[in-house]
Amino acid sequence: MTDPVHLALIYGSTRQGRFCDVVATWAAEQVRVTGKFSLDLIDPAKTLPELPGQSGEDDPSPSLGQRMAAADAFLVVTPEYNHGYPAPLKSLIDSVGQEWHAKPVAFVSYGGVSGGLRAVEQLRQVFAELHGVTIRDSVSFAGAWEQFDSSGRLLQPDRHNHSMAAMLRRLHWWAMALRNARAEMPYASAA
């Protein structure tokens, strides 16, 4: 299979005035630079999770479930709020099930001193339960608000760009391997 990997980039915050837009925009640009992914931006502030069958019949756009099912891989951009990840992100994650099965999940996190790493560690446990395959590498921004200028550009991009490129190479490898495996033999969970 040589089609590009369909990557769903998921925004982790819905707060008014959120910094997630800055970090997600940077992450999306890094994804585009690789030329190996088609990108679907999933923002819970704009796309409320629907339960199956709740998408409006007159709405021609794909439902959240359809968009998640079409993804070969996921990139979650999450802040850390109070040592955890935001509730709207959990709601979005829980709104689908099999769409996560046997697909890789990578993380870009941001926050204060920890750079969102505590939120990522919690998310790794959640995705293991959902039969998702989390990528060991992640990108984190400690003191994120001090690392970007007023235009949303990184002040010192080299280290983060390098880390993101390495993570995306591994995410692409896992996405291709698991897509090929799912095509050869459907993934079966015990559910």
**What is the structure's pLDDT at 189?**
59
Residues 6+ apart with CB under 8 A from 96: 49, 64, 65, 68, 69
**For the whole model, what pTM was predicted?**
0.91
Residue 11: predicted pLDDT: 97
Q: What is the pLDDT of residue 80?
A: 94
As a whole number of angstroms, the distance between CA 115 and CA 1 comes to: 36
Q: Residue 51: what pLDDT?
A: 42
Q: Over the stretch 132-157, which tens digit does the pLDDT of each residue have?
A: 999 999 999 999 999 999 999 999 99
Cβ atoms within 10 A of the Cβ of 27, count? 26
Taking Cα atoms as reference points, which of 141, 144, 134 lies closest to residue 167?
A: 134
In the predicted model, residues of the chain with pLDDT beneath 70 are: 1-2, 48-60, 189-191
Per-residue pLDDT at 3: 85
CB atoms within 10 A of CB 75: 28
pLDDT, position 188: 81
pLDDT score for 28: 98
Confidence at residue 52, expressed as pLDDT on a 0 to 100 scale? 45
- Domains of the chain listed by start with CATH number: 5-51+62-184 (3.40.50.360)
The pLDDT of residue 57: 54
d(CA 167, CA 31) in angstroms, rounded, equals: 10
pLDDT at residue 44, as a whole number: 92
Q: Are 15 and 141 in contact (CB under 8 A)?
A: no
Q: Which pLDDT does position 53 carry in this prediction?
A: 44
Query: CA-CA distances (angstroms) from residue 77 to 64, 186, 187?
Result: 17, 28, 26
pLDDT of residue 60: 62
CB of 88 closer than 8 Å to CB of 15: no
**Predicted pLDDT of residue 58:** 56
Cα gap 77→23, rounded to integer Å: 7
H helices of 35-116, where? Answer: 64-70, 87-94
